[in-house]
Amino acid sequence: MKLNLFFIILFVVLGAQLLKAQNSEEEKLFIEAIESRFNDPYKSLKLYDYLLKNTNTEESVAIEIKKLQLNRLLGEYEEAVAISQKIESTITNSTSTDLQFEYWRELATLYNDLNLMGEGNTVYEKALNSYNNLNLNLKKKYAIDLSLLKVKYLKPEQTESKISGLKEILDKMDDKDERKPFIQFQIAKLYYSQQNDSSRLYFNKIIRDFNVKPLSQASRTYLNLNHTDSTEYQKVVDNLFDVELEAVLLNKAIQYWSIKRNEDSLMVYEKRLQNYFFEKNQSIRNAKVSLIQGVYRKKQKDNVEKVLVRNRQLYIVIGLLGLLLLIYFGNRYFRRNRVDTKDDIDDSKGTVISDKTEEEILEKLRKFENSKLFLDKQLRIASLAKQLGTNTRYLSSVINASKNKSFNAYINSLRIQYIVDKLKSDAKYRSYKISYLAEESGFVSQSSFTTAFKEITGSTPSAYIKNISD
């Protein structure tokens, strides 16, 4: 027994250590993927794909957001859109405020890259709102990300403001921040068309200060574009964080061969530039269509859900109104049946009637009993008093004194006696349904008829009919 317990403890400890080691390894790979983004983006994507196989939902969403960013930077817009749509519902339902901010920030940047500014402004507002929902520590963590997004959403003609904003961000960044060379590359590109000296300064800083191969290679390419060596224009560099560089190189080559008047080479590069724009525009168009279709589908889904919610609310309101009406009419019926008894009792208290008046009322009641007016379902003490030419207090007092019954009990006894006489004298009445007998005798419901019948005869209508039939 002790040996078995020892092995169980041993297995638990080893399992915990293996799990801890696995988690530690995955954390290392995640950090490596982040650090490789601007040096070897495709290696970073492979690491993210590997990590996605062994992660929970929240961790997988965080990795998908990183993949979205990389695909966007590499110009793989269709893949970026697919990722954004894949995780949107998870993000919407997530309680993680930092993941929500990262997602809306990346999506807003994607809209900007695709030049969907109208829709992008809506997403940009969501990013700002999600940032405001962060706690103080997270706001400090994502302050630079928010600043980069704001610079991104400056108008294209605001080049100076963009450069100034990126420089301010650089000054605030930690030296170990892996995004630093990429931001310097953006500044160098903004300077490229305006100030060659400033542009060269930043391109050279990337080459000198950072070991970031794609950005360094792109920087060297931009620096060499001022040379007249035509071979440089024939090279197309892949895997760079600059989707515009290929077009720049091809245009330079076209300019060069145009000056050289080499029609064959000129046609080759013009054809390549034409194919480049066709493929790029096709890719961007597909991404835009996919993104807009996703927004449209979401709106349709939201509208359907709104209609369903509205219908559910309508059904609830109708149900409540129906219930209230049922309670109202039920209470009204109950009170109507009770009020006559109450009035009957109250009106009879302390009422003094002359013998002559009492005799006149009794005579009228005898005529009433022979007239079958008691079968009227709408009969009330007030209506009967009016028929007899008296008031409810006198009528109630006479009925209580002479019949020893309340008004309702008196009327019910007349009705039950009427139907009992019918059952005894006419055999066909015994074959009628109880509901018909209730209707025939002036009761408003079968249940009230059955209750009154049993109180007066001592048995239910069915039992009574069976007894007299036998």
Residue 348 is predicted with a pLDDT of 47
- CATH architecture observed for domain 325-469: Orthogonal Bundle (1.10)
Cα distance between residue 108 and residue 127, in whole Å: 7
pLDDT higher than threshold 80 for residue 272: yes
Can you give the residue ranges of every domain in the chain? Answer: 159-261, 325-469
pTM above 0.75, yes or no: no
Residue 339 is predicted with a pLDDT of 46
Average pLDDT of the residues of the chain: 83
Q: Which segments of 234-380 does DSSP mark as H helices, in order?
A: 245-260, 263-348, 355-371
The answer to whether 385 touches 392, Cβ cutoff 8 Å, is yes
Nearest to 436 by CA among 452, 424, 419: 419
pLDDT higher than threshold 60 for residue 383: yes
Q: Could you report the per-residue pLDDT of 68-119, keeping only the tens digit for each?
A: 999 998 889 999 999 999 998 888 888 899 999 999 999 999 999 999 888 8
Give the Å distances, CA to CA, from 37 to 32, 57, 176, 180, 421.
9, 22, 14, 12, 102
Give the Å distances, CA to CA, from 43 to 26, 40, 46.
15, 5, 5
Q: Could you report the per-residue pLDDT of 297-330, keeping only the tens digit for each?
A: 777 776 777 777 777 787 888 888 888 888 877 6
Q: Could you report the per-residue pLDDT of 164-198, keeping only the tens digit for each?
A: 999 999 999 988 888 898 999 999 999 987 777 88
